[in-house]
Structure 1
Amino acid sequence: MASNLHVAITARGERNGLIQAEAMALTGGSPDADGVSTCERIDRIDRAAYVHRGVRIIVSADTIEELRDAIAVRANTIQSDRFRIDVHDPEGRSPLGRIEIAIMLADALQEFPDLGNPLHHFLVIVGERNLMFGEIEAESAASYRLHDNKPWTTSSSLDGRFSRALVNLVPDARSILDPCCGAGSIVVEAASLGIEAFGVDWKPALAGMTHENLAHFGYSGTVVQADSRSHVQYADAIVTDLPYGHAINADEGVIRAILEQCAGLAPRAVFVAPTNITTWLTDTGYANIQVHSVMKRRGFTRWVHVAESTVT
């Protein structure tokens, strides 16, 4: 049958709650175990970290043979000159291989393929209940990869992909403040998307690293050395990786003071911490808190908190 659906294809990661959070923020859809989600929009996928593609579904069917026949019936209405067909089947549900599926469906179209430089790029999605055939209309540019070659990093610096996903949790923000910017991973990602970026760090060396990293890529941003417990810089959103040592409780007073200050500077915030700090956020003026855990190597887990200020 025909369909007017759009779906997003997302990275798979059962231990990475940030994947689903970014997909929901950018597309309005939550991916299933196959990394497929029905979505409300695909126009923001180009900036995504974990959302790979946006697909306009043309037809769906229960079997590959029914899908082939449905495509053949509609072939004269499908623009397919110089096409390519790929297959998304992460669980290997189809008894046919990806190349066999692509050849079978290509024979149902009326035009000729161009695998190297296609004008139309189609995707077959092999789901648990049915199969879908659609055209890829949006793809992530993965521009965050460039930023992993920053001239300055520290042992605790976030990588570009993780930082980009954090920024994408507040996709409508026109300005972002990172009050604990370190070497500037988050500031760089925000600036690369054309967002007005502000970075603050109490260590002069780290503020200098952020400034030089921005300059290295030709991005504009404002970076100052200051104490974020008292520094004032308003923005649409706070996005930051909170400072912590081996025991976050040792820095509880400092972090609570930063959180309290941030609550008065932006209506929305994204805080990364090595433990769930929902109680601290509630105590310092935040509500509607969503928490996403990201399990890393050696048992280390990052906790991503998305919250709304009750102060601003």
Structure 2
Amino acid sequence: MTEQKKPTYIYTYAYSKEERSLCHLEMRSFFGKATDDNIIKSNIKIDASRSPFIRERIEVMYEGAALQELIDQVKDIKMGDQTFKVIFSKINDRKAPETIEYQERRDIERAIGWVIEGEADVHQPDHIFGMAIVGERWYFGHYLKSEAVWLQHTKKPREYSTALSTRVARAVSNIAVPDPEGINAIDPCCGIGTVLVEALSMGIDMDGRDINPLVVDGSRENIEHFGLKGKVTLGPISEVTDNYDVAVIDMPYNLYTHATPEDQLSILKHARRFAKKVVVITIETMDDMVKEAGFTIIDRCETQKGYFTREILVCE
């Protein structure tokens, strides 16, 4: 019996210079590797709309060393009464002078579309095919454009000036739980639930908890506002009795809830007790404290908001 070949996926990325470190940590969490080329080929299937940085996903049907090889294979496609469109991704890892510019991409789309048996429709096609170049190879397959789901969460009924942005919160959720299947997570200092909303909207099983009754109410309201379901408990981290696969801890640091070093160490020690893996978000360097709590930092990145930098530490 021959082993079935795993499907291949091409992902294209877009991010700002300030987001590079965060995006690369999310890439490593998803795929075990990162690249500055803004395009990744992997056997791992990710919903393109999960990441705030992924732009497109192509599920590969055909590949070849040259365009003609693709044309020869694509001839087999019969669309029946369905319409189609072909998109050649403008993102690839070719550097000047090897880059493929706009007009050449349109010509290639037409050359491929011409040999597909069916009716092309550039405005409202029933199916979209995508093309991309990675390395020296050409790829063709089912195309999926990412939807910026997180954008819908930027305006919440309850807001907090020091809360993470929705983009960062979404990336942090992915870094903490790249594959939600069978994973239970907790945000034990959840504030108004920025991470919770992103996690729950992606099907991640995450509980919330906070010591502040006002923000617990705010967190519940925010979750309900977006039609999500999640449990948010009032109480200190010391009262967590369940075990979790992963915890996300955005260290409290605003005017009213700034945690002292003793508080921070206590939070980390409690997290060690009930979670196998912890993603810590901090505006202060706390490598020594993380080690003292019994964790090892296995990966990290930085992200900026205004004038200060946050560190994101992946600890096991």
* TM bracket, shorter-chain basis: 0.7 to 0.9
Cα–Cα, structure 1 residues 297 and 260, in superposed 2: closer, same or farther, change >3 Å?
Answer: same
The residue aligned with 1:307 is 315
- Corresponding residue for residue 291 of structure 1: 300
Partner residue of 1:33 out of 21, 36, 43 = 36
* Corresponding residue number in structure 2 for 1:7: 10
- 1:242 is displaced (CA, Å) by 1.1
| Residue pairs, 1:1-312, within 5 angstroms | 5-15=8-18, 16-26=20-30, 28-57=31-60, 58-61=62-65, 66-67=66-67, 69-78=68-77, 82-89=84-91, 97-108=101-112, 109-111=114-116, 112-125=119-132, 130=136, 132-169=138-175, 170-173=177-180, 174-245=183-254, 251-298=260-307, 300-308=308-316
The answer (yes or no) to whether the contact 1:79–1:120 under 8 Å persists in 2 is: no
SS at match of 2:296: strand
Change (3 A) 1:137 1:86: closer
Secondary structure class of the residue paired with 1:236: strand
Q: SS in structure 2 opposite 1:162?
A: helix
Q: How many angstroms does 1:151 deviate by? A: 0.6
Deviations 1:147-198 (A, max 9, x none): 1121111101112221121111223453221111111111112222333332
Q: Structure 1 residues 131, 98: closer, same or farther in 2, change over 3 A?
A: farther
* 1:199 CA drift (Å): 1.5
How many Å separate the matches in 2 of 1:95 and 1:287? 42
Q: Deviations along 1:254-278, whole A, 9 cap, x unmatched?
A: 1111011111111111111113322
- Residue identity (%): 23
Q: Is the 8 A contact 1:83 1:122 kept in 2?
A: yes
TM (norm. structure 2) is 0.81
Cα distance change, pair 79–153 in 1 and its aligned pair in 2 (3 A): farther
Instruction: Give secondary structure in 1 for the equivalent of 2:216.
Output: helix
How many Å apart are 1:212 and its aligned residue? 0.8
Q: Post-superposition shift, 1:10?
A: 2.0
Instruction: Name the stretch that deviates more: 75-84 or 208-217.
Output: 75-84
Conservation of the 8 A alpha-carbon contact between 1:11 and 1:19: no
In structure 1, list runs of 5 or more residues that go unmatched. Answer: none
Q: 1:198 to 1:60 in 2, by over 3 A?
A: same
Runs of 4+ deviating beyond 6 Å: none
Tell me by how many angstroms 1:122 deviates.
Answer: 3.4
Instruction: Give the secondary-structure state (helix, strand or coil) at the position aligned to 1:194.
Output: coil
CA distance change for structure 1 residues 139 and 107 in 2, over 3 Å: closer, same or farther? closer
Closer, same or farther: CA 51–104 of 1 in aligned 2, 3 Å? closer
Post-superposition CA distance 1:227-269 (Å, at most 9, x none): 22454443221013111259x9972111111011111111111
Unaligned segments of structure 2, at least 5 residues: 1-6
Q: Distance in 1 between matches of 2:123 and 2:247?
A: 43
Aligned twin of 2:3: none
Q: Deviations over 1:44-99 (max 9, x none)?
A: 434233223222343344xxxx42x2333223124565222233247675565324
Change (3 A) 1:12 1:23: same
- Quick check: 2:245–2:277 contact (8 Å CA) kept in 1? yes
3-state secondary structure, aligned to 2:244 = coil
Contact in 2 for aligned 1:8/1:42 (Cα 8 Å): no
TM-score, normalising length: structure 1:
0.82
- Give 3-state SS (helix, strand or coil) of 1:77's partner: coil
Q: Is this contact kept in 2: 1:180–1:242, CA < 8 A? A: yes
Q: Partners of 1:282 and 1:249 in 2: how far apart?
A: 21
